[in-house]
Amino acid sequence: MKNAVGVELPEFIEGYGVVKPFAGAFAGYGQVQKAAVRLESVQPGKTKLLRSIDEAIEKVNLRDGMTISFPSHLRNGDHVINQVMAVIAAKGIKDLHIAATHIFPIHELLVDYIKRGIVTGLSASYISPGAVAKAITKGYLKNPAVLRSHGGRPRAIESGELHIDVAFIGAPTADAYGNINGVQGKAACGTLSYGIADAQYADKVVAITDNLVPYPACPIEISQEYVDYVVTVDSIGDPHGIVSGTLSVTKDPVGLRIASLAAQFIDEAGYIKDGMSFQSGAGGTSLAVTAEVRKRMKEKNVIGSFAAGGVTGFIVDMMNEGLFRSVFDVQCFDLKAIASYRDNPRHQGMSGSLYGNPNTKGALVNNLDIMILGATEIDTEFNVNVITGSDGVIMGGSGGHNDTAAGSKLSVIVTNLIKGRLPIVKSKVTTVATPGETVDVLVTEHGIAINPRRSDLIVKLKDSSLPLVPIEKLKEMAERLTGIPEPIPFSDEIVAVVEYRDGSIIDVVKKPLDTGGCKPRN
């Protein structure tokens, strides 16, 4: 069967289950049911503080075949997954599903656990380029990996589709009774947004901390009512690893040119005005757009409602300059953002569910006016790939891409027309992460393409001096310079399932034929 973005899907995927095909970006709204929570109540006098991860694993009765989760904001500085998995491996537990938020190169040890059958399933919102991504793409994981957006992950948890047996939550600060926060301690990372759903819905919750403080660990972000056990370790991570590559404004003149065009477009489209809300993805060019938007807001004396997202010091500065009244934060990206989140009541944390879960009474993305996003590929239907590279290997994930594109009034993709020697605009993207119906405009250095679905924008900018062109023209321009790359040959083996934020399947990742290697038998 074909889904609404034309992707051919089987009715059933081994190791995943029955396929619910993507039926449109807004087809999943309506009445929903949340899962019931099973917990063991705690009577007065019982201690929660344990001596070791080993003891915690014994206490929660971790067994073969369970799902364990690792919500983390420490990104490539996270030490929790590696420490917990080392103990699990030593105890001989196997056939586990890891429900992570992010997988980074620091988690390379997982490859060995995958090969040994200790880990047989993995889901995440983002899988950074690296050994784990390659191992999944090569089909080493017994069951297909599942990629969910930042809103889709808590939706799956809250609906019961993703049932977590044990959540291991890295806690930069905790007290012995399970109150935790992310703003104090040597591994302070700011918000703990991604772990909220895990804490509320997992059967067992273990807080792992390297900064145990006297009760209570105020300001409390995840409270004791959700936490079964507390374990202390030497280090839960290195906050310097939060900043992993793409969090500074580009100095590349072409990237800056794209940013300048994007800001001009947003302005001419009428979105830079009092009360505006704004979010920019990570990535040098996206952040450069923020800088250009800042300039235009200042010129027009505009005061915005809020900025949102993964928050950098740059966004904090804009709030402190009076350009935004508040900030909604799902991930602090640097020390300035962490300090601001800790000290400024206008710097508001939000759970992953509040951020982007479509099955709520209104996610924050619904209030977003302008969203700036990147793309690995975009096709002439405006479908966007941020999951696989030109070689078909997993190198990312939706993160908040499809959540924010769906919710925002103006979603803007900014990208170079050509990266390396490859055209970014194609007839068909390798993997669809975000459906074209939620993407409004593509800005490249060679021209700007408005999605024909946005006839209002086409009319509004008909006299603009901006280089507006059909997306097909951009594709032609790119292919004239690069030629049309040979399609990547894929096998029929599905190595990852890409869920849209509503839980339907928007695409699958198949094993490229040229990745080589043999799949080990578990």
Partner 1 sequence: MEKNTRSMYFVPGNEPKMLQDAPVFDPDAIVIDLARRVPATEKDSARILVKEALQFLDYSNVEVIVRINPLSSEYGLKDVETIAPVKPNALMIPKARVEDIQTLANMLSGIEQAQGLEEGTIKLIPMIDSILGLESVHSIINASSRVTAAFLNAEDLAADYGSKRTKEGDEILYARSKVSMACRAAGIEVIDTPYMDINDSEGLEMDTEKANLLGFTGKAAIDGRQVEAINIVFDASLRQAAFPQAHTHI
**What binding mask, one character per residue, do residues 430-459 give for partner 1 by CB under 8 A, x or -?**
---------------xx-------------
When asked if residue 254 is in the footprint of partner 1 (CB under 8 A), the reply is: yes
- Residues in 359-378 that interact with partner 1 by CB under 8 A: none
Stretch that binds partner 1, among 44-52, 133-141, 254-262, 422-430 (CB under 8 A): 254-262
When asked if residue 475 is in the footprint of partner 1 (CB under 8 A), the reply is: no
- Among residues 172 and 447, whose Cβ is nearest to partner 1? 447
Q: Tell which residue, 11, 39, 435, 53, has the closest CA to residue 199.
A: 39
Q: Residue 264 CB, nearest distance to partner 1 (Å)?
A: 11
- Residues in 165-204 that interact with partner 1 by CB under 8 A: none
Q: Residue 316 CB, nearest distance to partner 1 (Å)?
A: 23
- Dihedral-angle region of residue 17 (phi above 0 means left; psi in -120 to 50 means alpha; beta otherwise): left
Q: What is the 3-state secondary structure (H, E, C) of 308-343?
A: EEEECHHHHHHHHCCCEEEEEEEEECCHHHHHHHHH
Check residue 394 and report its DSSP letter: B
- Among residues 458 and 481, whose Cβ is nearest to partner 1? 481
Q: Tell which residue, 345, 296, 335, 293, has the closest CA to residue 313.
A: 335
- Residues in 221-240 that interact with partner 1 by CB under 8 A: none
Contact 378, 426 (CB under 8 A): yes
Q: Residue 445 CB, nearest distance to partner 1 (Å)?
A: 4
- At 179, the amino acid letter reads N
Number of residues that bind partner 1 (CB under 8 A): 11
When asked if residue 248 is in the footprint of partner 1 (CB under 8 A), the reply is: no
Instruction: Tell me the C-alpha distance between 327 and 347, whole Å.
Output: 5
DSSP alpha helix (H) spans, 344-427: 352-356, 401-407
- Among residues 318 and 448, whose Cβ is nearest to partner 1? 448
| Beta strand spans in 29-118 (E) | 49-50, 67-70, 96-100, 102-103
When asked if residue 522 is in the footprint of partner 1 (CB under 8 A), the reply is: no
Secondary structure of residue 196 in the 3-state scheme: helix
Residue 363: CB atoms within 10 A of its CB come to 25
Q: Rounded to a whole number, what is the distance in angstroms from the first to the last CA of the chain?
A: 31
CA distances, 154 to each of 78, 100, 136, 176, 193 (Å): 20, 11, 23, 27, 10
Stretch that binds partner 1, among 174-182, 252-260, 305-313, 435-443 (CB under 8 A): 252-260
Q: Residue 417 CB, nearest distance to partner 1 (Å)?
A: 9
- Among residues 251 and 361, whose Cβ is nearest to partner 1? 251
Residue 244: CB atoms within 10 A of its CB come to 17
Contact 193, 101 (CB under 8 A): no
Stretch that binds partner 1, among 1-9, 251-259, 315-323, 407-415 (CB under 8 A): 251-259
Q: Residue 293 CB, nearest distance to partner 1 (Å)?
A: 17
Q: Residue 480 CB, nearest distance to partner 1 (Å)?
A: 8
Q: What is the chain's alpha carbon radius of gyration, rounded to the nearest angstrom? A: 22
- What residues have CB less than 8 Å from 361, skipping those under 6 apart? none
Secondary structure of residue 443 in the 3-state scheme: strand
Q: Residue 254 CB, nearest distance to partner 1 (Å)?
A: 5
- Among residues 253 and 345, whose Cβ is nearest to partner 1? 253
- Among residues 133 and 256, whose Cβ is nearest to partner 1? 256
- Among residues 254 and 468, whose Cβ is nearest to partner 1? 254
Stretch that binds partner 1, among 51-59, 233-241, 249-257, 304-312 (CB under 8 A): 249-257
Secondary structure of residue 284 in the 3-state scheme: helix
Q: Which of 223, 244, 248, 260 binds partner 1 (CB under 8 A)?
A: 260
When asked if residue 418 is in the footprint of partner 1 (CB under 8 A), the reply is: yes
When asked if residue 257 is in the footprint of partner 1 (CB under 8 A), the reply is: yes
Q: Residue 256 CB, nearest distance to partner 1 (Å)?
A: 6
When asked if residue 478 is in the footprint of partner 1 (CB under 8 A), the reply is: no
Inter-helix orientation angle 253-268/284-299, to 10°: 50
When asked if residue 348 is in the footprint of partner 1 (CB under 8 A), the reply is: no
When asked if residue 481 is in the footprint of partner 1 (CB under 8 A), the reply is: yes
Instruction: Tell me the C-alpha distance between 389 and 376, whole Å.
Output: 7
- Among residues 240 and 421, whose Cβ is nearest to partner 1? 421
Q: Which of 93, 174, 183, 256 binds partner 1 (CB under 8 A)?
A: 256
Q: Which of 30, 214, 253, 345 binds partner 1 (CB under 8 A)?
A: 253
Write the burial class of residue 333 (CB in 10 Å: 0-12 exposed, 13-18 middle, 19+ buried).
buried
- What residues have CB less than 8 Å from 61, skipping those under 6 apart? none
Instruction: Tell me the C-alpha distance between 190 and 339, whole Å.
Output: 8
- Residues in 71-90 that interact with partner 1 by CB under 8 A: none
Stretch that binds partner 1, among 136-144, 147-155, 256-264, 350-358 (CB under 8 A): 256-264
- Among residues 123 and 390, whose Cβ is nearest to partner 1? 390
Beta bridge partners of 508: 497
Give contact residues for partner 1 (rule: CB under 8 A).
251, 253-254, 256-257, 260, 418, 445-446, 477, 481
